Amino acid sequence: MPNKGRRPESASSESEVAVSDIMSVSDVEKIVEKAVKAAITVITQEFQQKVQDLKDYVKHLEERIDKLESAESPQTDVSDLTRKIDAVARENRQYAVAANEAEQFSRRNNIRIKGLTVKKEEDCRQVVTEFVRSKLNSPISHDDIDIAHIIPNRAQSNQSTQMQQNPQERKVVVIAHFRHREVRDRVIRQRKLLKNSPYTVVEDLTSLNLQVINRLNISPEVAKTWSWNGHVFALLHSGQKIKVKPFQSISECEQIS
């Protein structure tokens, strides 16, 4: 007796082929990337809210201390409140570091290019593609770059003279997001070719990580600073290399070989 409940094997194979045609590897990668970005955004927002709550609590405690210190006969131990504020401040920094790491992770496929000349009618993606090909000797395609755009900054407001002289083009900072991290890494390794040129290629660091680098650059103990994969490193005059996180003193940093 024929089994009416079973589907022919050929129909099953055709269905599988149809599904494979619909869902390619590229489609899956895009779905995963969107999910990761969405998750990082949610985590970052939650961390930022926690940090704000802690800041509000610290402010409240500071106001209480001010009132106690101004009173003639304080009844509460001010030192106890001070210890609590110190504990909250440490926790506040921990949340800030965690939020910073999440934000930096979301930028892992980005680079910043300084010194590019972009004409008014030009597509930033095409400008970056040609720059990478010609200046960095890296044979990337236009599709390797997901998005590229000019970063507004205050310095541009002081470039009115340059814009009046040639309104069609200007030197800008461009941020480029690559579809694949290995392509970005290959490009950024080639930045050594830009030595003694008007261009620089750097990682897209968070504001907090940029503050870390700026602090290290003015330290008399530090000879050189750099970043890789969102982590900040420094070479001391003593010859020791260290990995630096936000809010760390040099003595607290992890030493690397």
Write out pLDDT tens, residues 158-181: 544 444 445 455 689 999 999 999
Give the residue, 90 or 177, on which the prediction is more confident.
177
pLDDT at 72: 53
First to last CA, the chain: 75
| pLDDT recorded at residue 167 | 45
What pLDDT, in 10s, does the model give residues 206-241?
Answer: 999 999 999 999 999 999 999 999 999 999 999 999
What pLDDT is recorded for position 169?
A: 57
Burial (0-12, 13-18, 19+ Cβ within 10 Å), 112: middle
| Helices 25-70 and 78-106, packing angle to 10 deg | 160
| Banded model confidence at residue 185, pLDDT cuts 50, 70, 90 | very high
Edge-to-edge order in the sheet of strand 241-244? 222-228, 231-236, 241-244, 254-256
107, 210 in Cβ contact below 8 A?
no
Taking all residues of the chain, what is their mean pLDDT, rounded to a whole number? Answer: 81
Q: What is the mean pLDDT of residues 60-67?
A: 77
Instruction: Give percent of the chain above pLDDT 70.
Output: 79
**How far is residue 14's CA from residue 199's CA, in Å, rounded to a whole number?**
54
Give the global pTM: 0.63
The pLDDT of residue 14 is above 80: no
Q: In the chain, what percentage of residues exceed pLDDT 90?
A: 48
Q: Rounded mean pLDDT of 127-137?
A: 94
CATH among 3.20.20, 3.30.70, 3.30.2420, 2.60.120 for 110-203:
3.30.70
Q: Where are the domains of the chain?
A: 25-106, 110-203, 207-256
In this prediction, residue 226 carries a pLDDT of 94
